[in-house]
A and B are shown apart, each in its own frame.
Chain A
Amino acid sequence: MKQLLLGAEAIALGALDGGISGVYAYPGTPSTEITEYIQKNKGDREQPVRSAWSANEKTAYEAALGMSYAGKRSLVCMKHVGLNVAADAFINSAITGVNGGLVVAVADDPSMHSSQNEQDSRVYGKFAMVPVVEPASQQELYDAARYAFDLSESLKLPVLLRLTTRLAHSRAGVEGTARGTQNQLNAPYAPERFVLMPHNARRQYNNLLAMQAELEEHSEQSWLNRLIPGTGTTGVLAFGIAFNYVMEVRQAYALDCPVLKIGHYPLPRKKIEALFNSCETILVAEEGYPVYEELLRGYFGNTHIKGRLDGTLPRAGELNADSVALALGLAKKEVIPVPAIMVNRPPELCKGCGHRDLYEALNTVMNAHVQQHVFSDIGCYTLGALAPYNAIHTCVDMGASITMAKGAADAGLRPAVAVIGDSTFTHSGMTGLLDAINDRAPLTVIIADNDTTAMTGGQDSSANGSRLLDICRGLGVDEAHLKTIIPLKSHLAENIAVLREEIAWDGVSVVVAQRECIETAARKKRNPAAKA
């Protein structure tokens, strides 16, 4: 029976049916729903599946590698920028190789619906020289998740499963196949693979290089790479989800161009050669960076290749059927324009959110200073950058609020203030705070502790409440400058006083603003069984 699943959920089901023993992840749009689905649906499996959230993507990846080391299958999920955090582990796991199947599902966000950039994870796959699968539909995501585990286990390499926002957050009917069982614990001693001292690393790296021809052969045979035959002089090389847009246009306009669908890397050279030999012009449609267009075009260019680099398709942003239709030479459609009265409706902090009260107090304090910079981070509180608060001035990457504020303080900026959420603090803020303490930097860190990872829908954070205070103490924050406030209207005067005093103090101070996210609180009330 078909079930209606988000693309992200289809991967989750594929992984469960493929016999994973655990999933490791840090929430991040558009990847969050993979892990959430496993958390909600693992109950009826014969053996337990480990699924709690990790502190960050690096800890998640390493734990997944450890599970694989012990012979079991593990899935690790993240958004594209999360792979930057986990990159060290990821790249080196290609050198050690794996034991139990290890699949890293990475959700890219072209058009930056909920992200700071649109980096293309296929580049990482190429960099690590491991197989990458990039399915084009929800059913393919399910099938590819299962396939990727088998492939990983047979090659003894991690496999990167790449998807993008549209597929992750789009529903379709998906049909599962027979459930597999989990692997037995099987942890052979293999220091020659897993101790990456230079003598081992060199040999392992050479092995990886030697495997590349085999990986390409797998791609040639892969069901994810297939030709839709056609006629005419223009052929299309359609990668991942771009295949859908090409086929949509092909169907809508009754075109008959040949289309080579690519969903498994490294590139299947022979298949591509055959397409190139049968066509005069090739349109390369990739969702993300023009990674393979650039490669195929070559440094000195090939005028028979069209794509994002010559403006046939837009250089940035998601593709769609409309941009692909234009690229295939179809005339632009007349459409009803958006009326001139239209105004933007940007997102905003919920009414009654504690961050509102925090920013109100902070703005009052900062207004008294000449330098009013506030360094911030990634979460709901990032919305404090917008009107009416305009309270924060940076948001770069997870944890950067504390470290950037510290660097600015080192440069002489006073006051130096950072605002970071509880979950972002445990993700990547703690180490930066340690730097600041070791350097005695004049810095005030405000931890907006709403008891959850709110922006992605209220997942448990790794530490909050009194544990956050304990962490700060343990890192060496002076008890006299470790304060707690409650961001509520009724506490405004008091909160202003605390912030004013700590921001004036010439050393490291931490103010924890504690109030639960009202959305999460409401969800818990509706569904008390669910922890968050």
Chain B
Amino acid sequence: MQINIILAGVGGQGILTIAAVIDHAALQSGLTVRQAEVHGMSQRGGAVQSHLRISDKEIFSDLIAEGTANLILSVEPLEALRYLPFLAPQGRIVTSTDSFINMEGYPTTEQILDELHRTNHPVLVNAAELAREAGSVRTSNMVMLGAAAPFIGIATEMLEASIEKLFQAKGADIAAMNIRAFRTGQALSQLQATAT
């Protein structure tokens, strides 16, 4: 098995937290991981991405080749589209629909949704709203991870255990809230899958 994931977002949105959860779960599952991330100038509100690769074999390249990403997981809808050349023909987009506008010429929601719907059954997530329901808007990254969980190729228990581990230092209730957020996202994703 080999899964290539592009994580996308805006500097400061914390996509590396999502990466950390997946990395840890993959390693615990006995898989090989390579995860390239962006540090430096772009982290100040610029477009940021992380290439995350999981395999049961040796992985050579830290970067994903064009047309081979199984999943683009984006915490911002326009950012999901930025990396389309990486998406495999049958690859999936899972994205938050919460726009983050900090530049000129941001397209309309309609334009973005149009483009997203051209891809293979995109999963669109109102992450902030679901996160608030789970207890805090700060859990929206875990909502997104939950929504992407069916496409990551790692058992749900492993992902949840990894969330638990990552957040336990912040207290049991914070960890529980993030698990709740994860499950909310996962439920939405399953609902959308049966609807399409």
Whether A346 pairs with B103 at a CB distance below 8 angstroms is yes
Taking the closest CB of chain B, its distance from the CB of A287, in whole angstroms, is 12
CA distance A457 to B44 in the complex (A): 10
Whether B10 pairs with A247 at a CB distance below 8 angstroms is no
User: Within 8 Å CB of A490, what residues of B?
Assistant: none
Interchain CB contact (< 8 A) of A113 among B38, B63, B111: B38
User: Within 8 Å CB of A32, what residues of B?
Assistant: 39
Query: In this complex, which of A173, A321, A341, A344 has the most chain B Cβ atoms within 10 angstroms of its Cβ?
Result: A341
Number of B interface residues at 8 Å Cβ cutoff, please give it. Answer: 50
Whether A335 pairs with B82 at a CB distance below 8 angstroms is no
Whether B35 pairs with A171 at a CB distance below 8 angstroms is yes
A172 at the interface (CB under 8 A from B): yes
Whether A322 pairs with B102 at a CB distance below 8 angstroms is no
Interchain CB contact (< 8 A) of B81 among A171, A338, A350: A338
Given contact pairs A169-B37, A337-B84, A342-B78, a sample of 6 additional A-B residue pairs in the complex whose CB atoms are under 8 Å apart = A30-B39, A30-B40, A244-B60, A342-B81, A345-B103, A387-B104
Whether B33 pairs with A343 at a CB distance below 8 angstroms is no
Interchain CB contact (< 8 A) of A170 among B27, B34, B81: B34
Tell me which residues from 89 to 146 in chain B have a Cβ below 8 Å from any Cβ of chain A.
102-107, 111-112, 115, 119
A349 at the interface (CB under 8 A from B): yes
User: Within 8 Å CB of A93, what residues of B?
Assistant: none
Whether B40 pairs with A456 at a CB distance below 8 angstroms is yes
Taking the closest CB of chain A, its distance from the CB of B44, in whole angstroms, is 4
User: Within 8 Å CB of B119, what residues of A?
Assistant: 336
Whether A339 pairs with B115 at a CB distance below 8 angstroms is yes
Taking the closest CB of chain A, its distance from the CB of B64, in whole angstroms, is 8
User: Within 8 Å CB of B84, what residues of A?
Assistant: 335-339
Enumerate chain B interface residues (CB-CB to A < 8 A).
10-12, 23-24, 27, 32-47, 51, 59-63, 65-68, 78-79, 81-82, 84-87, 102-107, 111-112, 115, 119
| A348 in contact with B61 given A29-B40, A343-B106 (CB within 8 Å) | no
A252 at the interface (CB under 8 A from B): yes
Interchain CB contact (< 8 A) of A114 among B41, B47, B61: B41
Whether A321 pairs with B63 at a CB distance below 8 angstroms is yes
Whether B27 pairs with A169 at a CB distance below 8 angstroms is no
Secondary structure class of chain A's binding surface, majority of residues = loop
User: Within 8 Å CB of A333, what residues of B?
Assistant: 66-67
Whether A166 pairs with B62 at a CB distance below 8 angstroms is yes
Interchain CB contact (< 8 A) of B66 among A2, A113, A169, A335: A335
Taking the closest CB of chain B, its distance from the CB of A399, in whole angstroms, is 19
User: Within 8 Å CB of A377, what residues of B?
Assistant: none
User: Within 8 Å CB of B115, what residues of A?
Assistant: 339, 341
Tell me which residues from 442 to 501 in chain A have a Cβ below 8 Å from any Cβ of chain B.
455-457
Taking the closest CB of chain A, its distance from the CB of B51, in whole angstroms, is 8
Taking the closest CB of chain A, its distance from the CB of B6, in whole angstroms, is 12
**8 nearest interchain CB pairs?**
A114-B40, A347-B46, A29-B40, A170-B62, A170-B36, A248-B61, A321-B65, A341-B107
Whether B10 pairs with A345 at a CB distance below 8 angstroms is yes
User: Within 8 Å CB of A252, what residues of B?
Assistant: 65, 68
